[in-house]
Structures are given as C-alpha cells and as structure tokens.
Structure 1
Amino acid sequence: MRSRLTLKIHTLLERVFPEKRLFLRSDTETRFIRLKSETQLVAWTGSIIVVAWTIIATAILLMDSIGAGNFRAQAQRDQLTYEQRLNALSGERDARAAEALAAQERFNSALQQISIMQSELLATEEKRRELETGLEVVQATLRDTMRAREAARQELAALSAENDDPTATAMTDDAAGTVDLLANALAETAAERDMIAADAEFAIGHAQEMELELRLLQERNDQIFRQLEEAMLVSVEPLDQMFRAAGMNPESLIDQVRRGYSGTGGPLTPLQFSTRGGTNDPDAERANRILGSMDRINLYRIAAEKAPFALPVKSNFRFTSGFGQRWGRLHAGADFAGPIGTPIYATADGVVTNASWSSGYGRLIKIRHEFGIETRYAHLNAMDVKVGQRVSRGDRIGAMGNSGRSTGPHLHYEVRVGGEPVNPMIYIRAGQDVF
C-alpha cells in the first residue's frame, strides 16, 4: 500500500518536476548530477520560503520606519501647536498686565481727584458755616440797631414835641445812614451765602459722578484681574504637571532656582496701590498674587531649561530599545536608530564633563546639569563639543554613529540622577505636552 502511494506521488512530481541531469565535462571525462523530482521540489520550496521571508521582513521594516516618522512628525506638530498656544497666552498675559497697570493708574488718578474734591467740599462747607454764623451776628446786630433806631425816633419825636432842636435831627439822619449800611452788608452776605451753597451743590454732584466712574473702573479692574488669574492658571498647571510627571518636586526646584537667581527689584516687585494707611488693598493683593504666578512661571522656565525634557534627536528616527532589563543585564538608557551623521542635540542646559572614547560606549559625551542630573550620549560618529564647554538645550553636540559595542548606527541616550540611571523616557514624555 505504501509503495503504491509513493509511486503515485512520484508520478505526479515527475509531471511537474521531470528528472533533470546536470552534466559536468572536463578534459578527460564527463560526469553528470542527477536532479530527482523530490530534490527539485525541496529546492523550489526553499526558494519560495526565502523570497517570502525577504518580502515580509522588508514590509515590516518599511512599516516600522513610516510609523516612527509619523510619530515624530506628530510630536513636532504637537510641540509647535503648544508653543504657539503658550506664546499667545504669554502675549495675552502681557497685554492684560499692561491694561491692569493702566487701569490702576486711572484708579489712582480718580482717587486723587475725589480726595481733592472732598477737601474742597469740606473747605466750602466750613466757609459756609462761618458765613452763616457771621450772617446771624449781622442779623442780630441789625435787629438791635433797628430797635435802637426806633427807640431813638420815639425819643426824638418826644424831644421835638417839647423843643425843636437841630441836633436831634442830625442824630436821626446818622442812624438812618447806619441802618442803610447794615442792610447793604446783609444783602451782600446773603448773596455770597447763596453762591457758596451753589458751589457746594455742584461739588456734591461732581463727587457722585466720580464715585460712579470709580465703581465702573473697579468692575473693569475686577474683570481684568479674573482674566489674568485664569491665564496664570492655564500657564502654570502644565509646567507643574510636567515636573511632577518626571518625579521632581516643583517646590524644591523653585527654591533651588530662586537661590541661584536671587536678584531683587524690577517689574515683579510687589505693588502698593493704596493711597492711605490702614488695611491692605484687595486689588494690590490680587495683583501681587498674579505677579507671584508670573514669577513662578519664569522660575519654571529656568528649571525646565536645566532638566532633560527634550529629545536628543530631532530628525526622523526609530526607537529600537528602551530602559530596563535586556538579556539578563540592565539597559541603562534608550536607543534611537537613524542614519550615520544624524545630528545629536543637548536635551538641557549644562556643562560638558566628558567628550572622549569610553570602552563599550564608543565616542561618549557626558553633560552635567542642575538638580544632580547627568545625560550621556554614546556610540557617536563625531563630537562637536569639548570638556568644560557650557551648552544650552537644543545645541548640536555631535553626530549619530556606530562606535563602541554597537550592532548598528544608533544613539544610546542615558539620564542619571545622583549617579543612578533612570528611564529617560520619563522626562521626554513629561515634556511632550509642554515643549
């Protein structure tokens, strides 16, 4: 039974792969190699498997390369979008700050005008009281004079009846002149009193208008303050979350940066808006809180420049290996594969402490940063910095290569904190939403 089945299979193979002979001829003899149907089938199958494997491997590499390029392009677009948003918020924040200062100047000017009007009103009221007092004295004196005149007339009439004396007539004329003088003085005093009352009424009305304008200005200031506070909140929160995502304490970072930048004065000096002593001005307190947020953002920016939140490779690359155990050993960094000569950039401000050949690392650059952080860039093809050189984030420091113990051109990138290696992707992912 088995021989019949084998014979049928052999017959079928003979139809598809007929037996062939490969002749080898030399000067003295001729030989041939017999290629059976089974041998041809094995060779044909092996060739198909090799070709299929080559096609599949090539497709996987192309898809991986395209995916890495799309990821990098998307990251760059996201970074550009956030930078534009952050710049727009910064511009709006500066505009709001300028509006707040201008509004505060108008507020102070209005306060000064109201203070002047109140002083004038008090002076006018005091003068009016003095005039009323003087007018009452004049009226009392006039009443006494009128009574004295009437008594003098009666006495004069009695004397005239007894004796027609010229001296009495002269005294009557003098009393009449005195009365006329007092009446004129009383009329002038009354007119001046009416004028002072009119001035006081005008001052009161003007003061009410100023109070209304001051209230509207206060409402405008409150709206500006709210917008500034919202802008500060939107600007501070992403930076605060970025440091926390990287495992860094924002408060200790702020204190450390502030100690390094301890200058005083300038536009962030606390403001004093109150024109009088006593309780604190709530507007001044809100403005100082906003200035404190602006100062915190500036300190955050300084700290972010000194921590490795950026990518060391800006061109298209393929992420080939991450941080962690590999083949029973700790892989202390992340690998970014790309063509030889791809530019490598510093991920934070710092000082170059090593730029030389280092055993399995090949050409190695070490940069010391603030907060006890060090970054390493290994397997380089070229090094563009020297020991002791100070670099900033984004400065080109070398080119990707294949030096040292490496299986292909790539960058081995490490981040060490206090001498201990940490996953560099923690910093890179934390900074993707900000930078």
Structure 2
Amino acid sequence: MRSRLAMAVHTRLEKRFPEKRLFIRSDTETRFIRLRPSHQLVGWSVASLLVGWSIISTAVILMDSIGAGNFRAQAQRDQIIYEQRLNALSTERDARAAEAVAAQQRFSSALEQISIMQSALLETEDQRRELETGLDVVQATLRDTMQDVKTSRLALEQLAAEPGSAAAGAVMSAQADSTVDLLASALAETAAERDKIAADAQFALDSAAETQLELRLLQDRNDDIFRQLEDAMTVSVEPLDKMFRAAGMNPDNMISQVRRGYSGSGGPLTPLSFSTRGGAPDPNAERANGILNRLDEINLYRIAAEKAPFDTPVKAAYRFTSGFGQRWGRLHAGTDFAAPVGTPIYATADGVVTNAGWSSGYGRLIKIQHEFGIETRYAHLSAMRVKVGQRVSRGERIGDMGNSGRSTGSHLHYEVRVGGTPVNPMTYIRAGQDVF
C-alpha cells in the first residue's frame, strides 16, 4: 500500500518536476549531478519561501515608513494648530486686559464723580437746613412784628381818640408799615432761595441715579470680560497640566522649582493694586490678580516644558525598530529610531552636554543633563555636533544618526533617565504630542 502511494506521488512529481541531470565537464572527465523530483520540489519550496518573505518584509517596511510619515505630519499639523490657538488666546488676553484696565479707570473716575456729587449734595443739604432755620427765625420775627403792629395800631387808635396826638400816631403807623414791608420782602427772597436749593438737590439725586446705572452696566461688562479671560486661562492651563501628569511628573513641584530658579526678563507678573480708601478689598482687583497669576502660571509651564524632554529626537521620516522593555533577557533601556545614516538628531529639551564621545557598546554617545534630575542619551551616532559643557536648546541639532558601537544597522538609540533610572521615552514623547 505504501509503495503504491509512494509510486503515485513520485509519478505526479515527475510530471511537475521531471528528473534532470546537470553535467560538469573537466579536462579529463565528465561528471553529472542528478536532480531528482524531490530535490527540485525542496528547491522550489525554499525559493518560494524566500520570495514570499521578501515581499512581506518589503510591505511591512513600506507600511511602517508611510505610517511614521503620516504620524509626524499629523503631529506637526497639531502643533501648528495649537500654536495658532495660543497666539489667538494671547492676543485676546492682551485685548481683554487692556479693556479691563480701561474699565477700571472709568470705574474709578465714576466713583470720584459720585464722591464729588455726594459732597456737593451734603453741602446743599446743610445750606437747606440753615435756610430753613433762618426762615423759621424770620417767620417768628414776622409774627412778633405783626403782633407789635397790632399792638401799635390799638395804641394809635387810643391816641387818635385823645386831642393833640394825631401827628404822632401817623408817624408811628408809617414806621410800622415800612417794617412789615421789609420783613415780607426778606421772607420772599428766603423762600425763593430755598426752592432753588431744593431743585439743585433733586438734580444731584437724579444725576447720582444715572451714574449708579452706568456703574452697574460697567460692572456687568467687567464681569463678562473677566469671565472670558478666566475661561481662556482654564483652557490654556489644562492641556499643559495634563501633559506633565501624563509623563508621571508633579506639575506643582515643577512649577515651584521653575519659580525658584526663574531668571527671565521682567520676572513674574506684578499684581494690580487699587486704592480702596480704607474699605474692603476691591473684588475686581482680586479677579484681575487671579488672571495675572494664571498668566504667570502659563509662563512657568512654558519654561518647564522647554526644560523637560517632551520633543522627539528625530524630525525626518523614521520607523521604530525596538521599544523600551525586556529584550533577550535584558532591559532595553531606550527606544530605537531607524533612518538613513546622517539623519539629523535634535535635543529634546534645554540642557547642558555632559558627555560627547565614544562609549563602548553605545558607540558615539551624547549625554545631556536637564532640569528636574532628567538626563537624555543619544547613541550610535555617526557624527557629534556639540561639546562637553555646551548649553543646548530644545530642537537644536546635536548630531547625525549612524551605526557606531554594537549596532546592526543605522539607527538612534534614545534614552531618558530620571535620577539615573531609565524610563520609557515614549511616555514623554506621547505627552508632548498631545499638546505640541
């Protein structure tokens, strides 16, 4: 049974792969190599596997290259959009801050006008009270005078009844009438002045009510401006705070450390101060100072982001060949970026170069010390463009990709170490790509 099955298989193989002989002739003899159907089948299978493997490998490499290019283009577009949004927010912030300062000035001017009008109103009220007091005195004097006139008229009538006293009575009557006319004129002038003061007081009250309405409208506008500014500050700070936390860093500690070492021009923003005339603190000034504090916080976040390695070391097209983690029983302490020899390598954060030379398996190695106890390493370089002690900035070209040291091809071995302990560099790179 087996022999017949083997014969059938052999017959079919001979149809597909007939037996061939390869003759090898020399000067003295001729030899041949017999290529049996089974040998041809094995050779054909091996060739098919090699061709298939080549096609699949080429497709994987092309897909990785295309995916890396699309990923980088998307990251660049996201960075441009975020920068445009930050610029727009900065412009709007400056405009709103100018409006807030102008509104505060108008508010202070209106308060001064109200204070002046209140002082004038108090003076008018004092004059009105004095005039009322004077009017009461005049009225009392007029009543006394009328009583004296009445008494004088009775005395005149009695004198008129006596012989020889008519001329004296006429003189006394004329003097009494003159006194009454003088008092009546003074009373009329006093009443007119009182009415004028009352009209002035009413006008002052009406003006004060209009000013109070303008102040309320101005306060509403100030509230709207402050609310927009506070929302803009929140939108700007949240992504930065999320970026630091995604990288496993404490934003509060980093901001405190940056604030202690701040040496930028101008220093932190100066709080606003408005006169309260000995009263309670001005709520508008407190809100404005809160916005300034948020602006100062954004500035410190920006400085901290420049000092931490949130950027990628390779800007050109590349592919990942090995990630962070255990490999062949050992810790692979970094991430490998593969690209042609000479591809530019960039610093991922501000720092100082502590090593630029040959280092055993690393080959040509550059070490950069950053803030917050962070160190980055760039290995297997073909050329180094920095020196030990040189200060570099984020995005500055420091070397070229190569194949030096223990390396199987042109690539960059990139490490991030915190306090001397290796951490996954992609944690920082992904956190930065979400913002930048």
TM tier relative to shorter chain: over 0.9
Q: Which runs of 5+ in 2 are unaligned?
A: none
**Equivalent residue letter for 1:252:** N
Give the Cα separation in 2 of the matches to 1:386 and 1:266. Answer: 31
Q: Is the 8 A contact 1:379 1:403 kept in 2?
A: yes
Q: Is the 8 A contact 1:21 1:33 kept in 2?
A: yes
1:193 alignment partner in structure 2:
194
2:344 alignment partner in structure 1:
343
Q: Which moved more, 1:174-183 or 1:398-407?
A: 174-183
Give the Cα separation in 2 of the matches to 1:104 and 1:396. Answer: 48
2:130 alignment partner in structure 1:
130
Residues 223-262 of structure 1 aligned to structure 2 (within 5 Å): 223-261=224-262
Give the Cα separation in 2 of the matches to 1:397 and 1:229. Answer: 40
Residues 54-73 of structure 1 aligned to structure 2 (within 5 Å): 54-73=54-73
1:33 alignment partner in structure 2:
33
Residues 347-366 of structure 1 aligned to structure 2 (within 5 Å): 347-366=348-367
Give the Cα separation in 2 of the matches to 1:24 and 1:269. Answer: 95
User: CA, structure 1 residues 267+150, in 2 after alignment: closer, same or farther (shift >3 Å)?
Assistant: farther
Question: 1:365 deviation in Å?
Answer: 1.4
User: CA, structure 1 residues 264+411, in 2 after alignment: closer, same or farther (shift >3 Å)?
Assistant: closer
Q: Is the 8 A contact 1:246 1:427 kept in 2?
A: yes
Q: Which moved more, 1:265-274 or 1:422-431?
A: 265-274
Q: Is the 8 A contact 2:310 2:432 kept in 1?
A: yes
**Equivalent residue letter for 2:174:** D
**Equivalent residue letter for 1:345:** Y
Question: 1:375 deviation in Å?
Answer: 1.2
Is 1:286 matched with 2:287? yes
Give the Cα separation in 1 of the matches to 2:183 and 2:226. Answer: 63
Q: Is the 8 A contact 1:352 1:386 kept in 2?
A: yes
Question: 1:35 deviation in Å?
Answer: 2.9
TM-score, normalised relative to structure 1: 0.92
2:140 alignment partner in structure 1:
140
Deviations, residues 197-227 of structure 1 (Å, cap 9, x unaligned): 0111111111111112222222222222222
**Equivalent residue letter for 2:15:** R
Q: Is the 8 A contact 1:353 1:388 kept in 2?
A: yes
Is 1:386 matched with 2:387? yes
Give the Cα separation in 2 of the matches to 1:266 and 1:404. Answer: 46
User: CA, structure 1 residues 255+173, in 2 after alignment: closer, same or farther (shift >3 Å)?
Assistant: same
Deviations, residues 334-367 of structure 1 (Å, cap 9, x unaligned): 1111111211111111112222222221221111
Deviations, residues 375-431 of structure 1 (Å, cap 9, x unaligned): 111111222222222221111112211112211111111112222222222212222
Q: Is the 8 A contact 2:276 2:282 kept in 1?
A: no
Deviations, residues 28-73 of structure 1 (Å, cap 9, x unaligned): 4444333333333332232222212211221122122222222222
Give RMSD over aligned pairs: 2.3
**Equivalent residue letter for 1:125:** E
**Equivalent residue letter for 1:376:** R
TM-score, normalised relative to structure 2: 0.92
Q: Is the 8 A contact 1:107 1:214 kept in 2?
A: yes
Q: Is the 8 A contact 1:274 1:284 kept in 2?
A: no
Deviations, residues 291-333 of structure 1 (Å, cap 9, x unaligned): 2222211111111111111111122111111222222222221
2:415 alignment partner in structure 1:
414
**Equivalent residue letter for 1:15:** K
Q: Is the 8 A contact 1:373 1:416 kept in 2?
A: yes
Aligned to 1:204, the other structure's residue is in SS state helix
Q: Is the 8 A contact 1:322 1:333 kept in 2?
A: yes
Give the Cα separation in 2 of the matches to 1:277 and 1:363. Answer: 68
1:331 alignment partner in structure 2:
332
Give the Cα separation in 1 of the matches to 2:253 and 2:19. Answer: 83
Question: 1:6 deviation in Å?
Answer: 3.5
1:403 alignment partner in structure 2:
404
**Equivalent residue letter for 1:302:** I
2:100 alignment partner in structure 1:
100
User: CA, structure 1 residues 408+16, in 2 after alignment: closer, same or farther (shift >3 Å)?
Assistant: same
User: CA, structure 1 residues 431+267, in 2 after alignment: closer, same or farther (shift >3 Å)?
Assistant: closer
2:24 alignment partner in structure 1:
24
**Equivalent residue letter for 1:117:** M
Give the Cα separation in 1 of the matches to 2:420 and 2:20. Answer: 69
Q: Is the 8 A contact 1:82 1:433 kept in 2?
A: no
Residues 169-188 of structure 1 aligned to structure 2 (within 5 Å): 169-188=170-189
Residues 79-118 of structure 1 aligned to structure 2 (within 5 Å): 79-118=79-118
Q: State the aligned residue count.
A: 435
Give the Cα separation in 2 of the matches to 1:101 and 1:267. Answer: 19
Residues 201-220 of structure 1 aligned to structure 2 (within 5 Å): 201-220=202-221
Aligned to 1:403, the other structure's residue is in SS state coil
Q: Which runs of 5+ in 1 are unaligned?
A: none
Deviations, residues 4-30 of structure 1 (Å, cap 9, x unaligned): 444443333333333333333344444
Question: 1:126 deviation in Å?
Answer: 1.0
